């Protein structure tokens, strides 16, 4: 493909949204893809949603992969939700350090890992940062009830910001798998 064709395809894929979901599933597909594991050492049930991919600008150079996780303790403690995000980009490290919801509410963010994926020259490399973002059941439920996406703005020490969106279909399917589990 020519560079022009690739650019045109990226623009068409991006449409009116700043986020293009490369891999998106229906709520039913997400629910069926949720893996459930009972943990004997830490009594409770762990739920892991499928890994999906999106891009913040329609290009292959600014990708992110996301998956939801939940841990339901055996006790009466509330279920804990986490969004795992892998961001890949070119150039210098961004060092993402915090996230906020569209409402401006900050959410707990923990950097997990940073990796150099591939270098094309001395100054141009594909980099990856992995983040864990803690979410409450109320934050998940609010998006589910509104049948709306969950949008987070990630901010980095470098001054970069990236918008991460989890589609409503993913949230609905994942939440249904958690609340309807009878273990």
Greatest pairwise CA separation for the chain in angstroms: 58
What are the domain boundaries of the chain?
3-179
Reference 177, options 50, 54, 82; nearest CA is: 50
Mean pLDDT of 127-145: 94
Q: What angle do CA 175, 133, 113 make, to 5 degrees?
A: 125
The full DSSP string for 20-81 is: EESS---HHHHHHH-EEEEETTTTEEEEEPPPEEEESSSSTTSEEEEEEEEEEESSSPPPEE
pLDDT above 90 as % of the chain: 64
**Residues, the chain, total?**
183
Residue 1 has pLDDT above 90, yes or no: no
Q: Given this model, what pLDDT does residue 109 score?
A: 95
Rounded Cα distance between 127 and 27, Å, is 31
């Amino acid at each position: 493909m020519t560079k022009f064709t690739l650019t045109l395809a990226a623009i068409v894929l991006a449409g009116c949204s700043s986020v293009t979901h490369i891999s998106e599933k229906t709520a039913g597909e997400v629910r069926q893809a949720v893996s459930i594991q009972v943990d004997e050492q830490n009594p409770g049930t762990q739920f892991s949603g499928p890994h999906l991919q999106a891009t913040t600008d329609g290009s292959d150079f600014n990708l992110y992969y996301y998956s939801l996780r939940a841990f339901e303790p055996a006790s009466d403690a509330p279920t804990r939700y986490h969004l795992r995000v892998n961001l890949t980009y070119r150039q210098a490290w961004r060092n993402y350090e915090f996230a906020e919801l569209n409402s401006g509410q900050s959410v707990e963010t923990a950097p997990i890992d940073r990796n150099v994926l591939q270098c094309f020259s001395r100054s141009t490399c594909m980099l990856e940062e992995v983040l864990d973002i803690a979410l409450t059941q109320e934050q998940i439920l609010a998006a589910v009830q509104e049948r709306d996406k969950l949008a987070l703005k990630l901010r980095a020490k470098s001054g970069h910001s990236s918008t991460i969106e989890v589609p409503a279909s993913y949230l609905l399917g994942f939440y249904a798998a958690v609340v309807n589990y009878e273990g």
